[in-house]
Amino acid sequence: MNEQSLTVKDAIIQRRSIKLFNGQPVDREVLLSILEDALWAPNHQLRQPWRFIVACGSELNELHELLKEYGIPKWHELSEDALEKQMQKYKNPGGYVFVIVPEDARQKERLEDYAAASMLVQNIQLLAWDRGIGSCWKTPGFLDNPKFRESLGVKPGERIISMLQVGYYDEAPKPKPRKSIEEVITFFGNEN
Ligand SMILES: Cc1cc2nc3c(=O)[nH]c(=O)nc-3n(C[C@H](O)[C@H](O)[C@H](O)COP(=O)(O)O)c2cc1C
C-alpha cells in the first residue's frame, strides 16, 4: 500500500474501530513511523503531554502474560482450551500502544492534556487506517489497577488513557450510524 492513499475526509469517515484482528504482525518500523507522524497533534503550550509504551513483535509474549493475569477474571480456574479462547482477544492484535498522560494537579491543564492526547490517538488511528492497519481504543478497568500499572512501567502521576490495539484485519465492521448534523446544531440566537 502507498504511504498515503486516503484523503483526510475519507480517512475520517471510513475509519472503523477494529475489534477482530487477523493475527498478522505489525512491522515495528511501520508502527514507529505512524507514532512519529501522530506527534504533530495540537497541544496547549506545547506540553506534549504523552508518552507511549509499545509492544509489537517479540515483547508481545510477555505482555500477553500480563493481560492474562489482569484481563481475564479467574484465569487460573479455566481449562487450557477456555483460557486460550479468551486470550484470542489479546493475542490477535499485531501490536499495542499504551498512551500515557501526566495527571496535572490543575484541572484546566489536566483536561487540556487529555484532550490533546485524544487528538494524538485519533491521529494514530487515521494514519494506521491509511496504511491498512486497524485499531481500537480500549479502556478496560484494569488499566487503573496499581499492580498492572507498575508491571507495565507506568509511574505515579501518570495515567494510561488508552490501550490501543493495532493490527491487520480481514473485514471492517459496518459503520454505526451517527446523529445527523441537524440533530446536533443550533445556530446562535435561534434556540427556542
Ligand atoms: C475514549 C474511548 C474509549 C473506548 N473504549 C472502548 C473499549 O473499552 N472497548 C471497546 O470495544 N471499544 C472502545 N472504544 C471504541 C468505541 O466503541 C468505538 O469508537 C465506537 O463504537 C464507534 O465505532 P467506530 O470507531 O468504528 O466508528 C472506545 C473509544 C473511545 C473514543
Q: Which three cell numbers stand for residue 4?
A: 498515503
For residue 191, what pLDDT is reported?
Answer: 72
SS3 of the chain = CCCCCCCHHHHHHHCCECCCCCCCCCCHHHHHHHHHHHCCCCCHHHCCCCEEEEEEHHHHHHHHHHHHHHHCCCHHHCCHHHHHHHHHHHHCCCEEEEEEEECCCCHHHHHHHHHHHHHHHHHHHHHHHHCCCEEEEECCHHHHCHHHHHHHCCCCCEEEEEEEEEECCCCCCCCCCCCCHHHHCCCCCCCC
Q: What number does the ligand 1 atom closest to the CA of 121 have?
A: 31
For residue 143, what pLDDT is reported?
Answer: 98
Kindly list the structural domains of the chain, giving each domain's residue range(s) and its CATH number in brackets, ordered by start. 8-169 (3.40.109.10)
Ligand 1 center from residue 191 Cα (angstroms): 31
Ligand 1 center from residue 98 Cα (angstroms): 15
Instruction: Name the residue type at position 114.
Output: Y
For residue 1, what pLDDT is reported?
Answer: 47
Q: What number does the ligand 1 atom closest to the CA of 173 have?
A: 26
Low-confidence ranges of the chain (pLDDT < 50): 1-2
- Give, using CA atoms, the residue closest to atom 15 of ligand 1: 137
Q: Which of 138, 144, 160 for mutating ligand 1's site (highest number of atoms within 8 Å of CB)?
A: 138
Ligand 1 center from residue 51 Cα (angstroms): 21
Provide residues with CB under 6 Å of ligand 1. Answer: 16-17, 19, 136-140, 176
For residue 3, what pLDDT is reported?
Answer: 60
Give me the residues paired with residue 52 across strands: 99
For residue 4, what pLDDT is reported?
Answer: 64
